[in-house]
Amino acid sequence: MPTNTSSPAVIEVTPYTQQQPRWYCEQLEHGKVLSFRKAPFPFSEDDARFLLSQKQTGSRFHKNISYRPASDVLKGADPGADRERLHTIVRNFSREVTQFISSFLAPYAGKLKLDFASFRPLEEQGRDLPLHKRNDLLHVDAFPTRPTRGGRILRAFLNINPAASRVWNVGEPFHEFLPKLKHREVITPPPRNPALTALRKLGSRIGLPVPDRAPYDEYMLFLHDWLKENTDFQTSSPKWELQFAPGSCWMVYTDGVPHAVMSGRYALEQTFIVPAQALVSPEVAPVNVLHKIAGMEAIQI
Ligand SMILES: [Fe+2]
């Protein structure tokens, strides 16, 4: 199916079209991408220039940089004076975007779990990655090391590239595509190994760095890979191209909206886990969609 360019998947948020916070939460949970022409929170031109200047000093960044707000730890950056500045910039970005989301999406305030942030300096087009790690194939997100146990994955992005848009393809939301797909395809994760599951649970309980995944998390990890492997889904499912212009910001539930990054570099991103009890439309949350589908009773959280 050809990619559409005029998308029903995106809602542009402007100062003239302000809605109630609950309405924005509903739209996001139903699979819309909310887009802002400019960052709706402070982010200085100086900081953007610093991040971009790194390309002129000899490809200092050779991988994505990740930031863990809970422990204030930056990973993936080379040591040196610039590292401190980079740490400060990503820390401030994380704080500002979190503060904004807490008021813009007020029903979530106080309930959001702050996950990792990242700086993505690499050009996405043509990256040479193994199939399951490729970003240019439609997929829904699931984190191998951070199970959500039914919580949803909300991500906010900022394109600091002054010259090029970040280009995504997005597909139909989870509550629309999964029932159709399940109707004609068998998507069944391999059975869990009870001994391994018990070991993981024990390890996690005594503080070892092993993820204690619920069957829901296992299913979402399996689906992530299955979608990337499935040529028919990649080529035939409806999809829309979205171009996020220089300086723009957008947010989306990436566990529910199939997405693929086709091109772009220099983006900042912050991830939030929104627990089930904070959702305003829990009926379209992936865990509940899976519960409703026949044969999915085993998807426990
Ligand atoms: Fe993703």
Q: Where are the domains of the chain?
A: 10-292
- Whether the model clears a pTM of 0.85, i.e. scores above it, the answer is yes
Amino acid at site 224: H
57 pLDDT more than 60:
no
Q: Give the number of C-alpha atoms closer than 13 A to the C-alpha of residue 292, restricted to the C-beta side.
A: 15
User: What is the CATH code of the structural domain delimited by 10-292?
Assistant: 2.60.120
Centre of ligand 1 to C-alpha 37, Å, is: 22
Position 58 scores a pLDDT of 44
- What average pLDDT is seen over the chain? 89
Centre of ligand 1 to C-alpha 81, Å, is: 31
1 pLDDT more than 60:
no
Centre of ligand 1 to C-alpha 10, Å, is: 17
Position 263 scores a pLDDT of 96
- Which residue in the block uniquely carries the two structure tokens 């399996």? 222
Position 5 scores a pLDDT of 46
Centre of ligand 1 to C-alpha 154, Å, is: 11
8 A C-beta contact, residue 155 and residue 270: yes
Helix ranges (DSSP H) in the chain? 21-29, 45-53, 81-104, 174-184, 194-205, 215-229, 231-236, 286-292
Centre of ligand 1 to C-alpha 103, Å, is: 25
Centre of ligand 1 to C-alpha 257, Å, is: 9
**Size (the chain), residues:** 301
